[in-house]
Amino acid sequence: MKNHQSLIPITVAHGDGIGPEIMRAALRMLEASGAPIAIETIEIGEKLYLSGNTSGIGSEAWESLFRTKVFLKGPITTPFGGGYKSLNVTARKTLGLFANIRPCISYSPFVFTRFPQMDVVIIRENEEDLYAGIEYRQTRQVYQTLKLVSEPGSEKIVRYAFEYARNNGRKKVTCLIKDNIMKVTDGLFHRVFDRVAAEFPEIKSDSMIIDIGTARLADSPEIFDVIVTQNLYGDIISDVAAQLSGSVGIGGSANVGDKCAMFEAIHGSAPDLAGKDLANPSGLLLSAIMMLVHINLPEPAAALHNAWLKTLEDGIHTGDIYKSGMSRIRVGTQGFADAVIERLGTIPTQGEAVTYTQQIKPIQPSSWNLKMASETKTLTGVDIFLDYPNIKPNDLGALLDSLTVQGLKLVVVSNRGVKVYPDGFADTFCTDHWRCRFEAIEKGSTIEFGKVLAQMEAFHVAGLDCIKSENLYLFDGHVGYSLAQGQ
Ligand code: NAD
């Protein structure tokens, strides 16, 4: 008899497509492991979307999630057509799930992969970067999305990656960024990485530009251990890595925040397999195992993980990983769950058994003493963006020079980031979107904000279309903005 007083409440959403069948299999395996959990089921996803709830999740579901703070989630089908918001992005942001953790491990020789040594954990920042979803159409030709990267956000994810490495016996953390191009945003992430790495001398650290890093990952994944990266890069490389490790059907993931955590398979709702008892429940099971570790239930986590490894070793495989010569019995979703349940209490005999006996120290980001910048901030200029179709750069430059207010000087005009005035190249293709940089006459000295308004007013009065402005700041004398290419 279970002691109902000590059951840990878990919120569960079965999801869409193959979701209900893989969740049924995962819950059967969880129950058989004896894990003391109490399931609260919520309805989210396609049914809600189609009933007119554009976020795909209702208030009762939120109530359960805010209370249990632990979410085991099946995959969701996002209906086609505009207006539907991504439930995953909503859940990550609302619950503050800043870290996405995806182990991508080869199970060779039991699951076919060209990379038998692969054992990588990708830790992806989950809340910032281009996923802020702040986008604008500014002119008839040019559209913009904002990439927002904060120092505390970068520090949280980098620190999480190093703590994860330390707590899980991993040896190296690699930072993947593109700071040769995005010197301000990715440059910040890189600086924070180097600063935090110095606090973990026992863990090796290195960094690579994301493009060569991805190429190396696709070619020699065994050279990586833990990877930490920003949201978009992490989104892309974690799918690449999951695919390299064998099948999307065996990838699990955790989304972790200060207070809540969400666990889900990396794959989607696979409508092509739905209702056919063909889907592999392993991705969801491995996510559920991460959940058990998170709620400090290491014994059932290890029991399930070892039974799962033994099932793979015994050649009992679902269709996605079945390979004649390697596999012995092809099973369906529930048959696979039965095989795992039968093997509870056993360990793999050819590969290494998993132990979670040592409680993984809970990572408490809220207790971290995050660096909060306190530099002196000085306004020294402004970039004013204009919508001006069909004008030559030199003609625009001359017009702007004639309209520049006292105390400011026009330093550069750029189009899509490339300097076109003064001394631009005649062949540079120009759109209707111009960045016009004005600085204090004496470079680096402070200007009043009133100057910015006066400059915009002067343009407005002259009939120019100001679409936005960005202030130019120095922080303790250091430039807080990028130069135009060619400036
Ligand atoms: P998908 O991951 O559902 O399927 C891609 C391929 O992998 C398909 O061939 C599918 O049969 C196979 N596959 C997926 N899971 C499998 C499993 N457990 N066992 C065996 N094979 C498996 O990706 P998709 O087809 O691009 O998307 C389908 C739907 O899922 C879309 O509506 C998409 O928005 C949604 N989706 C949801 C999530 C989520 O909820 N986290 C993630 C990705 C996609």
Give tens-digit pLDDT for 309-357.
999 999 999 999 998 888 999 999 999 999 999 999 999 998 889 988 6
Instruction: Supply the residue whose CA is at minimum distance from atom 12 of ligand 1.
Output: 270
Statement: residue 21 has pLDDT above 50: yes
Q: Which of these ranges, 12-21, 106-115, 255-264, 391-400, has the smallest mean pLDDT?
A: 106-115
281-306 tens-digit pLDDT = 999 999 999 999 999 999 999 999 99
Same domain, 305 and 382: no
Domain that holds residue 456: 377-479
- Would 387 be classed as within a structural domain? yes
Distances (CA, A) of 161 to 101, 123, 175, 229, 320: 9, 6, 10, 9, 31
CATH of residue 9's domain is 3.40.718.10
Q: Which two tokens stand for residue 218?
A: 């696709």
Q: pLDDT value at position 88?
A: 84
pLDDT tier at 487 (50, 70, 90 boundaries)? Answer: confident
- Would 260 be classed as within a structural domain? no
- Would 80 be classed as within a structural domain? yes
- Please state the domain count of the chain: 2
Same domain, 340 and 386: no
Tell me which of 356, 391, 424 is where a domain ends: 356
Distances (CA, A) of 224 to 118, 243, 283: 8, 16, 22
Q: Which two tokens stand for residue 196?
A: 């935090």
- Would 421 be classed as within a structural domain? yes
Q: At 174, phi and psi to the nearest 5?
A: -110, 130
- Would 443 be classed as within a structural domain? yes
Same domain, 352 and 381: no
Instruction: Supply the residue whose CA is at minimum distance from atom 39 of ligand 1.
Output: 75
- Would 458 be classed as within a structural domain? yes
Instruction: Supply the residue whose CA is at minimum distance from atom 17 of ligand 1.
Output: 249
Q: Which among 259, 260, 311 has a CA at the least distance from the CA of 285?
A: 311
Statement: residue 359 has pLDDT above 50: no
Ligand 1 pocket test target in 100, 269, 280, 308 with most atoms within 8 Å of CB: 269
Q: pLDDT value at position 93?
A: 86
The stretch 263-272 carries a mean pLDDT of 93
Tell me which of 306, 321, 356 is where a domain ends: 356
The stretch 209-237 carries a mean pLDDT of 96
Same domain, 25 and 91: yes
Ligand 1 centroid, distance to 248 Cα (angstroms) = 8
Is residue 272 in contact with ligand 1, taking CB distance under 6 Å? yes
Helix (H/G/I), strand (E/B), else coil: 345: coil
Is residue 264 in contact with ligand 1, taking CB distance under 6 Å? yes
Same domain, 327 and 391: no
Same domain, 381 and 352: no
Same domain, 305 and 276: yes
Ligand 1 centroid, distance to 74 Cα (angstroms) = 11
Q: pLDDT value at position 374?
A: 79
- Would 206 be classed as within a structural domain? no
